[in-house]
A and B are shown apart, each in its own frame.
Chain A
């Protein structure tokens, strides 16, 4: 019977980790529904990019207030997780503050740092909440944020407030028990923050204190495991995916749009005077579809982008189309891509293979009006703190519209027929290209 808590803890821990792993495998499977793209070149530059942008948060501080607050929460998250290791081992082994005897003074320093960070995180998260809900900063209230995205964002903040509070409450009650020399509660740690809240519990009996300490301890670790499993259902996956996403990000100049090799083959054939115009394609295959109308036409990197997006809206704030009231919002492009990918994933889970559901990313999620409002200025790509490229999805979808459906706006059709016929986007004779040199 004495091992009951240990067994219960192990079941809770392994159950949570197993369920989370299952969902991670779904995400991996869904991402790999995307087309192949080679992003393994320049591995040195890729590691550097990941260290600078994801690990070093280099792009976050371009907006100083939210940037610095985010860095606090990020450091808090990473450092306080060291404590998680001890909590897990304590839970499995039935020990209490297992590391204390081994680390001595270092342990005191660590616990004190965790406490200060926890307090800073609490403050930062409360400010985040106020920015969203009291200051109502515009980018959190755009149309695509209605409903679940808004609730999701608040949920994450509530989770963090509760977890940090439980951590400090757990330490406060622990400190009181330590001071009263209660067996099992070894003297360990320095508690600069929670010592300030001990008066709340000072009048309680030892038995009640133990009940409270255990309750806070269990709620804290259970909360963390629930939060872990909440990730998959929320926009919060960026805490994991920011790392691979920056590693596999595009390293070419932003103005270089990808070359469509299938088209190159066709153009070469057309320009080759010896080619037989009636010959079948080289390998006898049906030519690949041009561009993207659904998520499976996108590359796996674009799909990973969609899962990585945490809906901060910096892209849409910088987007010139969005700023001037057009329908286009780069954040919505990413949210739509993820929602559609999840829908396709669930379809596969249910049917074994994808069954046509009469929907696709184009029109069912992203409208043509959004796609044609883009100026390809790369402001969204530049703004993203985790290396997401909404522009590439817009361009792939335009390619589908024009090359598969001939559905460009009529002005653009005129421009394109001018290029085709005259070699310039306007109806001028190409022989007149040098006339400017004649006038004064």
Chain B
């Protein structure tokens, strides 16, 4: 697929409506790359003009900040802000709640002020503006449970945008024991993704996977590449990968639309 970079578009004298912040997981992680591509197909179908930064994008610095390295975080942030301000970026969409939170909440203090939305929010507004439609055929009546990513839900109060999309698929949305403001973390946040867990009697992703399995879903919908990894590992650990799929909401919509 051809995905334009901001550099390309700028050299052609064009300015996209929105910058798609792909994120490190979305760029490099095999599983997350599928989410990235699904979302790009949705963007292309809607006809919205967008671009990515490509090699000019760097880690937002989220895991460095949460690990305690404020210096490294700010170095990353300043570099990204310099790049984006040079292109006069105003609106950003991202498929990663960690990037979303950092760009939206922590970049303004360092001079990066943008209108930042999560991909589930953008898809909702594209639907509202009738630039996109969702067919309910593919997932009609399927049991789907939704896992709230901490940095989308509790951290930024985005609970309904992803749920609205699942409902638009005509799927049966079932809630886990812990959901919305009381959602249970997948275990990856706060830089835990990059280290072994401390000793305990269970891994957090197993606990969360058990809550998901208890709803007897056909699909566990995620909205974060890290949650996706943690829950996929959990499902494998429980040997349920034959019956339960872990899918990002962007993937569900791309599949529903045969993209």
Contact = CB atoms under 8 A, between A and B. Distances in A.
Q: Is the interface of A mostly helix, strand, loop or mixed?
A: helix
Given A326-B198, A377-B185, A320 B207 contact: yes
B24 A425 contact: yes
A127 B200 CA distance: 32
Which bracket fits the contact residues of B? 35 or more
A376 interface: yes
Nearest to A397: B68
Contacts of A409: 195-196
Contacts, number: 217
Given A373-B198, A395-B68, A437-B2, A267 B74 contact: yes
Nearest to B74: A267
Interface stretch (A93-101, A177-185, A235-243, A411-419): A411-419
Contacts of B1: 437
Contacts of B75: 267, 270-271, 420
A252 interface: yes
Given A412-B67, A415-B67, A256 B200 contact: no
Contact of A324 (B26, B55, B70, B200): B200
Contacts of A318: 182
A152 B12 CA distance: 72
Contact of B200 (A253, A321, A381, A402): A321
Contacts of A399: 68-70
A405 to B, nearest CB: 10
B192 interface: yes
A80 interface: no
Interface in A408-440: 408-409, 411-412, 414-416, 419-420, 423-426, 428, 430-437, 439
Contact of A419 (B28, B53, B63, B155): B63
B49 interface: no
B203 interface: yes
A373 B197 contact: yes
Nearest to B206: A324
A28 interface: no
A382 B1 CA distance: 42
A416 B72 contact: yes
9 closest Cβ contacts across the A-B interface? A255-B155, A376-B190, A398-B68, A325-B201, A325-B200, A423-B58, A256-B105, A402-B68, A377-B185
5 contacts: A402-B69, A411-B196, A419-B72, A424-B58, A436-B27
Given A253-B104, A412-B194, A415-B195, 4 more contacts: A253-B157, A326-B197, A375-B192, A398-B67
Interface of B: 1-3, 5, 22, 24, 26-29, 33, 36-37, 40, 52-55, 57-59, 61, 63-72, 74-76, 78, 82, 101, 104-106, 109-110, 150-151, 154-157, 181-185, 187-204, 206-208
Interface of A: 62, 252-257, 259-260, 263-264, 266-268, 270-271, 290-291, 318, 320-321, 323-328, 369, 372-379, 381-382, 395, 398-403, 408-409, 411-412, 414-416, 419-420, 423-426, 428, 430-437, 439
